[in-house]
Structure 1
Amino acid sequence: MPRTVRKEDLPTSSEIDLLCSALLSADEDAADRIILAARRDGVNIETIYLGYVAGAATKLGVMWEEDQVSFVDVTLASGRLYRIIRGLRHIVASSLIDGRAMRPALFALVPGETHTLGIEMATDLFRREGWDIDMAVGTSHDALIEQSEDRHYRAIILVANSDRMIEPLTRLVLALRITQPLAHLVVAGSILQHYPDIQRLVGADAVMKDIKGAMATLRSILTEDPSEDD
């Protein structure tokens, strides 16, 4: 948990369980009502974001790993969490990214993916074009999140090829939504061939279908005015 939130201010496990139940329920607005009630009760915005939202994401991950919920359930709940995050991210972004080194982009291979040639070629291409970007290959989920917490990326390109990468990709997108609220999350790689609707499925901001169009996609993201983000 980030140092900006005191442990004594965090929601209890029962409160997190209640929020998760709302996120997984048939009631589209149940989770929003819980967040609004917490704000009315005087809970500060960082505690809501880093306590309630991050806590629910962690709990959903545990439920997923223990087969208590299905991939479809988690996808539904994640979509509702994204909506909450979008409503809060500009309010808490300044404190989250304060002190972080500004970096334009990170190319990251989804944990568990073994095909590295594509991401290495793409990173080399962008660097030859003058882009000062980071690359992460063979990095675990937790290590990627830790790296993102040290740096403020304008864009994070997540590369996956195998269709079995859909679960770790979804988990990574959700975690990065919390640690990098202002970053544009982009999916690239052959996984797009397996899941044509991957952008909607995992909640990404954009996709890179091929190297030819990748340069224009990243350039448009990095030159976009941050104040115009949703």
Structure 2
Amino acid sequence: MDALTINTLLAARDPPQILRPQPEPASSSGSLDEAAEDQLTRLVEAEIIPRLMLMHRVDPPSAVRPAPAFLPTQAHVLRLSELAVQGDAEAAPAYVRSLVAQGATQAQVFVDLLAASARHMGQQWEEDRYSFSEVTIGLWRLQRVLHEYAQRDLPMLGVHGPSRRCLLAAEPGTQHSFGLSIVAEFFSRGGWSVDCEPGAGWSDLRRQLARDRFDLFGLSISSSEHLPEIASAILDMRRASANARLFVMVGGPMAALMPDLAQRCGADAVASDAQAAVSLADHWLASLVRQA
């Protein structure tokens, strides 16, 4: 019997006859059938499977990542915002619980749902679609959801290490600082000792940095109107700090609009979200340890 090849299969007028040879007399004891099956097995392993892999670029199983159980969308953000502003006190927490039941992770709740919803409310306020009181009520209800999930005994997002302490604040005069609460929660779960002062003035922050030793000072900036004042205040904070190597990071709404925000303010780094802030802070602290 001639050896089977991929070309003979493609050229055959009646492939089933090649794949299933006519049975031989009983005296052959099935030797031809066994030989054909053996050739077919080698053909599949040596030619057909490699060609299919080249055609479809099949990745090995280890390279294929499982799809997330839940993917937050803008529709989820809009619905949560609507429920927080216009629903009753339990509407927003109940909606988030339903999304968690669908597979939403704690990080998704904090960043993709709560923080995104707070930003949407701020945009609606700026466009005069939500009143100040509506946004205040909505953020208060989102704060309830944050506290509900912050109290849960879940694994930390980061790795425990040497004692790390940060002071987080918002630009003085900012009306709403819900995003700062999200950042504080991420730092806390990342193994940091957090002092969060959303309503503190410059003099209060300066006294706190001078009195206690902090590794990091994080400031949320909401507008570009007072950048020169903020730059001057950050310089003042560095001079007053009990830690001569204080790491200063800026973030908040302006971080997404000004990639060079850190340079404008005289800070060491800028973070666009809570996860990035913790990652930058951990990287900076690790670099100090390596230099020591």
- Is the 1:116–1:137 Cα contact (8 Å) retained in structure 2? yes
Match of 1:115 in 2: 176
| Pair 1:202–1:157, CA change in 2 (3 A) | same
- Is the 2:228–2:265 Cα contact (8 Å) retained in structure 1? no
The gaps in structure 2 that reach 5 residues or longer are: 1-162
Instruction: Pick from 270, 273, 277 the counterpart of residue 207 of structure 1.
Output: 270
After TM superposition, give the deviation of residue 226 of structure 1 in Å. Answer: 6.2
Q: Structure 1 or 2: larger strand share? A: 1
After TM superposition, give the deviation of residue 128 of structure 1 in Å. Answer: 2.7
| Pair 1:228–1:113, CA change in 2 (3 A) | farther
The gaps in structure 1 that reach 5 residues or longer are: 1-101
- Is the 1:113–1:165 Cα contact (8 Å) retained in structure 2? no
After TM superposition, give the deviation of residue 163 of structure 1 in Å. Answer: 2.1
After TM superposition, give the deviation of residue 203 of structure 1 in Å. Answer: 1.4
**Cα deviation code 1:194-215 (max 9, x no counterpart):** 4332121121111112223222
- Is the 1:112–1:165 Cα contact (8 Å) retained in structure 2? no
More divergent stretch after superposition (220-229 vs 187-196): 220-229
Match of 1:57 in 2: none
Q: Aligned residue pairs: how many?
A: 128
Q: Moved runs in structure 1, 4+ residues, more than 4 A?
A: none
Q: What is the letter of the counterpart of residue 167 of structure 1? A: P
Q: CA RMSD in A?
A: 2.2
Match of 1:197 in 2: 260
- The structure having more radius of gyration, on CA atoms, is 2
After TM superposition, give the deviation of residue 103 of structure 1 in Å. Answer: 5.6
SS of the equivalent of 2:176 reads: coil
> Given the alignment of the two structures, is residue 176 of structure 1 paired with residue 214 of structure 2, yes or no?
no
| Pair 1:187–1:211, CA change in 2 (3 A) | same
SS of the equivalent of 1:162 reads: coil
- Is the 1:155–1:222 Cα contact (8 Å) retained in structure 2? no
Matched residues in 2 for 1:191 and 1:165: separation? 12
- Is the 1:110–1:168 Cα contact (8 Å) retained in structure 2? no
Matched residues in 1 for 2:256 and 2:187: separation? 23
Match of 2:208 in 1: 147
SS of the equivalent of 2:192 reads: coil
- Is the 1:108–1:137 Cα contact (8 Å) retained in structure 2? yes
Match of 2:166 in 1: 105
After TM superposition, give the deviation of residue 123 of structure 1 in Å. Answer: 0.3
- Is the 1:192–1:198 Cα contact (8 Å) retained in structure 2? yes
**Cα deviation code 1:2-45 (max 9, x no counterpart):** xxxxxxxxxxxxxxxxxxxxxxxxxxxxxxxxxxxxxxxxxxxx
Match of 1:221 in 2: 284
Larger RCO (CA within 8 A; separation ≥ 6): 1
Kindly report which structure 2 residues correspond to 1:14-25, keeping only aligned pairs within 5 A, or say none. Answer: none
Q: What is the letter of the counterpart of residue 223 of structure 1? A: A
Kindly report which structure 2 residues correspond to 1:3-82, keeping only aligned pairs within 5 A, or say none. Answer: none
Matched residues in 1 for 2:215 and 2:289: separation? 9
Matched residues in 2 for 1:104 and 1:128: separation? 13
Q: What is the letter of the counterpart of residue 219 of structure 2? A: L
Q: What is the letter of the counterpart of residue 263 of structure 2? A: R
Q: What is the letter of the counterpart of residue 164 of structure 1? A: E
After TM superposition, give the deviation of residue 187 of structure 1 in Å. Answer: 0.7
**Cα deviation code 1:38-60 (max 9, x no counterpart):** xxxxxxxxxxxxxxxxxxxxxxx
**Cα deviation code 1:76-108 (max 9, x no counterpart):** xxxxxxxxxxxxxxxxxxxxxxxxxx8621111
Matched residues in 1 for 2:228 and 2:176: separation? 17
Matched residues in 1 for 2:211 and 2:287: separation? 22
Matched residues in 2 for 1:221 and 1:107: separation? 17
- Is the 2:186–2:278 Cα contact (8 Å) retained in structure 1? no
Identity among equivalent pairs (%) = 24
After TM superposition, give the deviation of residue 225 of structure 1 in Å. Answer: 2.0
After TM superposition, give the deviation of residue 219 of structure 1 in Å. Answer: 0.9
